[in-house]
């Protein structure tokens, strides 16, 4: 191995790892075998498989392909093998995501599912989800694929699945204890417990908007009705807490972390309601597309599309101060998220294949070529959330 | 550049025979032979346990993770495609569970420390036996996982990428960073 003597030494010593027993492995083997043997004895009887002509034909085809492969010149295959062996001398190019700040993990949705992006540039595929969101402390991800709602760990281990007759959408994990998950099945609002049990219908005729859980006090959530109203309900009892009919149909809803304000975005305005649903702010905002509430609950970032391209604005929620542009001249934006400490805003700019990190003083740092990080020809990864520091 | 011993014809034939034997064992275990399952278990326990231990740094946790992985494998045995090798399937379960468990422990420790000083937290990692083990303990679980798969279980970076569903570049950079960090830590010990 090339490199410094200490690198060579580390490599050399790691190569002797297989010769070193781990503490307690022999005793553990006997204990574990007894448990595994018991699990084996308890497994349900095996369903016999039918041997069909099709299976035999498939087997013959596999043999033919294997023979053909064996008889072709070995060059390409050997080349692949050698290349894979030699590639252990890891490349040193910094991944695009290595520019992400410490203190959180980004949930990205690409063409082939949901991924967790770590601040050192690592990527971990969670599952083939089309939409996904974090659990409150980032221990799990909830995602949807077709008719299935799934909870998985950030490494992709599926913890539970709920399968419904129709496609499911817009999952949202409740804050704080994380004991509820809301989602839509078609136009029906449903809620399931955080362990995948007690799945039940809450309301019919919901609009296709991510439901917003109200923090601080019970499992109360706000959703948009198909008719354009906003309704806040108790997710367990179905009891209505309050309802409002805003001037426009909401496209995004979010409660502030202290549970005192609801922010509702529609195509042309941003409205704020108090805990009981009384309007406290209504601000025209033409072309509003997406919303990300700042962790302080005092302002929101809003994506706005107009003639001059797409812009991202920060909009104060309590005072009538003007909205301030943060980034302008963007093309399509596929998700925005605040960092967990609220110091940076992440904007996924699809047309430039960049994630833009906006910091203090609206300084923008682009992370370029992000699609390529997910493999050749991968779809642009949108941002679905930014959560929770993690000790690694 | 890392150079690995070239696969000789004898070694290749031995590996092929070993795969055939393993396929037979899986088939017999699927048909209800506890003896075949025990042979599979004994053959793969050491690798599974050591990999879990490298990631978790705790014998009890490693035993739990490796044991759960075998139980998961037993439960999924009927669905297992015998044309695929058994070991990568098992190692994937082991390493993913070990990473999850290590992360959860880290998060729980954070929460416990912040929320209640008198709440019993997870037991601290075991005392480590030498400087390599101590240096490994300084890496994150994801980095220890790729080190275990590469150096302990002998997978190539491409195979690790496939096992963990990671891009190949991520595996390479994790290996590189792990090696750099270990080199630094081991160098410090010597000075």
Q: How far is residue A71's CA from residue A60's CA, in Å, rounded to a whole number?
A: 17
| Residues of A whose CB is below 8 A from B63 | 24, 28, 31-32
**Between residues A37 and A203, which one has the greater pLDDT?**
A203
Q: Nearest residue on chain B to A375, judged by CA atoms?
A: B167
Domains in chain B: boundaries: 10-190
Quote the longest CA-to-CA distance of chain A. 77
Q: What is the mean pLDDT of residues A99-112?
A: 86
Q: How far is residue A254's CA from residue A270's CA, in Å, rounded to a whole number?
A: 11
Retrieve residue A240's tokens: 């209505």
* pLDDT computed for residue B10 by the predictor: 53
* pLDDT computed for residue B108 by the predictor: 56
CB contact residues (below 8 A), chain A span 1-40, against chain B = 1-4, 6-7, 9-11, 13-15, 17-18, 21-25, 28-29, 31-33, 35-37, 39-40
Retrieve residue A214's tokens: 């109200």
A157-166, A292-301, A343-352, B132-141: least confident range? B132-141
Instruction: Report chain B's mean pLDDT, rounded to a whole number.
Output: 78
* pLDDT computed for residue B188 by the predictor: 67
Q: In the block, which residue shows the tokens 């609206």? A: A362
Q: Nearest residue on chain B to A153, judged by CA atoms?
A: B100
Q: Nearest residue on chain B to A36, judged by CA atoms?
A: B71
Instruction: Report chain A's mean pLDDT, rounded to a whole number.
Output: 84
* pLDDT computed for residue A345 by the predictor: 96
* pLDDT computed for residue A52 by the predictor: 39
Q: What is the pLDDT of residues A292-339, one digit of tens each?
A: 999 999 999 999 998 878 999 999 997 778 888 888 888 899 999 999
Nearest to B180 by CA among A80, A350, A27, A4: A4
Which of A35, A37, A43 has the CB atom closest to B75's CB atom? Answer: A43
CATH class of this structure's domain B10-190: mainly alpha
B142/A124 touch (CB, cutoff 8 Å), yes or no: yes
Task: Indicate the angle between helix axes B86-115 and B9-30, nearest 10 degrees.
Answer: 70
Model ipTM value:
0.81
Per-residue confidence at B125, pLDDT binned at 50, 70, 90? very low
Domains and CATH numbers, chain A: 108-387 (2.130.10.10)
Edge-to-edge strand order for the sheet containing A158-163? A131-134, A141-145, A148-152, A158-163
Per-residue confidence at A47, pLDDT binned at 50, 70, 90? very low
Per-residue confidence at B30, pLDDT binned at 50, 70, 90? confident
Q: Work out the burial of residue A163: count CB atoms within 10 Å of its CB; fewer than 13 is exposed, 13-18 middle, 19 or more buried.
A: exposed
Q: Nearest residue on chain A to B172, judged by CA atoms?
A: A90
Q: What is the pLDDT of residues A247-292, one digit of tens each?
A: 899 999 999 999 999 999 999 999 999 999 999 999 999 999 999 9
| Residues of A whose CB is below 8 A from B147 | 14
* pLDDT computed for residue A389 by the predictor: 66
- Highest average pLDDT, of A78-82, A379-383, B101-105, comes from A379-383
**Between residues A98 and A353, which one has the greater pLDDT?**
A353
Q: What is the mean pLDDT of residues A96-118?
A: 86
Task: Give the H/E segment covering residue B45.
Answer: helix B34-56
Per-residue confidence at B176, pLDDT binned at 50, 70, 90? very high
Whether B130 has a pLDDT exceeding 50, the answer reads yes
CB contact residues (below 8 A), chain B span 83-112, against chain A = 83, 96-97, 99-100, 103-104, 106-107, 109-111
Q: What is the mean pLDDT of residues A214-218?
A: 90
Q: How far is residue A123's CA from residue A373's CA, in Å, rounded to a whole number?
A: 8
| Residues of B whose CB is below 8 A from A138 | 107
CB A290 within 8 A of CB A302: yes
Whether A113 has a pLDDT exceeding 70, the answer reads yes
- Best residue of A155, A156, A377, A381 to probe chain B, by most B CBs closer than 10 Å: A155
Q: What are phi and psi of B158, to 5 degrees?
A: -65, -40
Retrieve residue A383's tokens: 């941002």
Q: What is the mean pLDDT of residues B104-109?
A: 64
Q: Which residues pair with A122 in a beta bridge?
A: none
Whether A90 has a pLDDT exceeding 60, the answer reads no
CB contact residues (below 8 A), chain B span 17-76, against chain A = 29-32, 34, 37-38, 41-42, 45-46, 49-50, 53-54, 59, 62-63, 66-67, 70-71, 74-75
CB A193 within 8 A of CB A178: no
Q: What contacts B37, CB < 8 A, 6 or more positions away?
A: A36, A37, A40, B25, B29, B74
Q: How many residues does chain A have?
A: 392
Alpha helices in chain A (DSSP H): 5-14, 25-42, 53-71, 75-86
Per-residue confidence at B106, pLDDT binned at 50, 70, 90? low
| Residues of A whose CB is below 8 A from B157 | 84, 87-88, 90
Q: What is the mean pLDDT of residues B84-109?
A: 82
B140/A392 touch (CB, cutoff 8 Å), yes or no: yes
Q: What is the pLDDT of residues A177-190, one digit of tens each?
A: 879 999 999 999 99
Q: What is the pLDDT of residues A63-75, one digit of tens each?
A: 444 444 444 544 4
Nearest to A369 by CA among A355, A359, A357: A355
């Amino acid at each position: 191995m090339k490199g410094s003597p200490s690198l060579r030494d580390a490599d050399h010593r790691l190569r002797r790892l297989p010769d070193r027993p781990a503490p307690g492995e022999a005793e553990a083997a006997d204990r574990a075998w007894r448990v595994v043997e018991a699990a084996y004895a308890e497994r349900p009887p095996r369903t016999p498989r039918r041997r069909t002509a099709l299976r035999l034909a498939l087997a013959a085809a596999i043999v033919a392909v294997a023979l053909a492969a064996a008889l072709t010149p070995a060059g390409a295959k050997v080349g692949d093998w050698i290349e894979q062996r030699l590639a252990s001398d890891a490349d040193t190019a910094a991944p695009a995501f290595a520019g992400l700040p410490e203190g959180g993990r980004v949930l990205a949705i690409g063409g082939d599912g949901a991924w967790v992006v770590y601040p050192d540039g690592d990527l971990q595929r969670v599952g083939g989800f089309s939409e996904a969101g974090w659990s409150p402390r980032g221990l799990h991800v909830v995602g949807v694929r077709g008719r299935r709602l799934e909870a998985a760990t950030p490494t992709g281990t599926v913890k539970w699945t709920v399968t419904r007759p129709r496609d499911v959408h817009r999952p949202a994990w409740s804050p704080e204890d994380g004991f509820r998950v809301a989602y839509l099945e078609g136009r029906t609002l449903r809620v399931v417990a955080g362990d995948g049990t007690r799945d039940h219908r809450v309301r019919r005729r919901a609009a296709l908007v991510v439901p917003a859980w109200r923090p601080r006090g019970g499992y109360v959530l706000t959703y948009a009705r198909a008719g354009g109203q906003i309704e806040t309900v108790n997710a367990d009892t179905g009891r209505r807490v309050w309802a409002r009919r805003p001037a426009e149909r909401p496209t995004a809803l979010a409660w502030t972390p202290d549970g005192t304000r609801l922010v509702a975005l529609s195509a042309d305005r941003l409205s704020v309601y108090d805990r009981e649903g009384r309007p406290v702010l209504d601000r025209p905002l033409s072309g509003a597309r997406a919303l990300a509430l700042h962790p302080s609950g005092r302002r929101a970032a809003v994506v706005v599309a107009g003639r001059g391209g797409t812009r991202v604005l920060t909009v104060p929620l309590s005072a009538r101060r003007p909205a301030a542009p943060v980034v302008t001249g963007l093309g399509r934006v596929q998700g925005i998220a605040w960092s967990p400490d609220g110091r940076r805003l992440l904007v996924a700019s699809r047309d430039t294949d960049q994630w833009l990190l906006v910091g203090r003083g609206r300084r923008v740092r682009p992370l370029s070529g992000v699609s390529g990080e997910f493999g050749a020809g991968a779809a642009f990864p949108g941002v679905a959330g930014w959560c929770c520091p993690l000790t690694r | 550049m890392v150079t690995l011993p070239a696969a000789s014809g004898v070694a290749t034939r031995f590996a092929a025979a070993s795969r055939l034997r393993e396929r037979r064992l899986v088939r017999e275990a699927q048909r209800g032979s506890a003896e075949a399952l025990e042979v599979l278990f004994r053959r793969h326990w050491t690798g599974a346990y050591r990999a879990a231990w490298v990631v978790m740094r705790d014998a009890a946790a490693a035993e739990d993770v490796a044991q759960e992985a075998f139980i998961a494998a037993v439960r999924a045995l009927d669905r297992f495609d015998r044309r695929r090798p058994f070991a990568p399937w098992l190692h994937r379960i082991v390493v993913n569970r070990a990473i999850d468990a290590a992360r959860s422990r880290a998060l729980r420790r954070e929460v416990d420390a912040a929320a209640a000083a008198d709440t019993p937290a997870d037991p601290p990692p075991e005392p480590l036996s030498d400087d390599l083990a101590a240096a490994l303990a300084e890496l994150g679980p994801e980095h220890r996982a790729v080190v275990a798969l590469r150096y302990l279980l002998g997978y190539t970076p491409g195979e690790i990428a496939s096992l963990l569903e990671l891009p190949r570049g991520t595996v390479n950079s994790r290996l590189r960073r792990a090696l750099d960090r270990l080199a630094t830590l081991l160098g410090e010990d010597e000075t």
